[in-house]
């Protein structure tokens, strides 16, 4: 008899899921993903971060940034994330993933309640909702916005390609009294959700 999902969850002492962090380039997705991964590790939980950068250098290196390739990029990452979750791992997907239909398709791949979409109104995913695009541009260490504005990158989200915010999300991270929470505080908010919903127990 093969080892099943419940067996793996019992072995790891946690339930596999996908935490999908989405937003504009420079909005802080990777900051949350790293802080969350570190906090899960300190609690003895196994997680893995799928970041737009690490996936595009290997699995998706054959894809461009054209709309159809962006959709295929997200589809492939959704399939990999599903495998991680099935293995009992907490998979943290940190991606721009600008199109709602692509994120919804990834959600549909997983058992109910195991796809957790995280948005934030400031300094993280969906930061453009309450934070000017100029702030993301100012934080752009890779210089991508500058290249997009110069016409050297076509179809850049936030410049000449749209971003579609989720219609529903499980976790909203936002400013408090005009201040952004620290990376550790944001990670703690996600951890609290995971704990309350039984993901940190096998």
The Cα–Cα gap between 120 and 28 comes to: 10
Helix 67-86 with 100-109: angle, nearest 10 deg: 20
Taking CA atoms, 93 is separated from 11, 15, 38, 58, in Å, by: 23, 16, 15, 15
The Cα–Cα gap between 77 and 18 comes to: 11
Counting every residue, how long is the chain?
A: 202
Catalytic residue among 25, 47, 94, 97: 97
Q: Under a CB-based contact definition with an 8 Å cutoff, are residues 56 and 80 in contact?
A: no
DSSP code at position 129 = G
Tell me, yes or no, if 97 is annotated catalytic: yes
DSSP code at position 193 = H
Active site residues: 97
């Amino acid at each position: 008899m093969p080892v099943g999902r419940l067996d793996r969850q019992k072995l790891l002492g946690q339930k596999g899921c996908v935490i999908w962090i989405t937003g504009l380039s420079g909005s802080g997705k990777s900051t949350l993903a790293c802080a969350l991964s570190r906090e899960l590790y300190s609690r003895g939980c196994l997680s893995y971060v799928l970041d737009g950068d690490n996936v595009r250098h290997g699995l998706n290196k054959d894809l461009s940034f054209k709309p159809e390739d962006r959709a295929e990029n997200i589809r492939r990452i959704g399939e990999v994330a599903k495998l991680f979750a099935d293995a009992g791992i907490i998979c943290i997907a940190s991606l721009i993933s600008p199109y709602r239909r692509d994120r919804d398709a990834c959600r549909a791949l997983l058992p109910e309640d195991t796809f957790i979409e995280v948005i934030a109104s400031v300094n993280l995913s969906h930061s453009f909702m309450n934070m000017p695009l100029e702030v993301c541009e100012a934080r752009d260490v890779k210089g991508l916005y500058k290249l997009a504005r110069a016409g050297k990158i076509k179809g850049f989200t936030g410049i000449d390609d749209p971003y579609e915010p989720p219609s529903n999300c499980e976790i909203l991270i936002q400013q408090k009294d005009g201040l952004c929470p620290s990376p550790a505080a944001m990670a703690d908010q996600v951890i609290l959700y995971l704990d309350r919903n039984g993901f940190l127990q096998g």
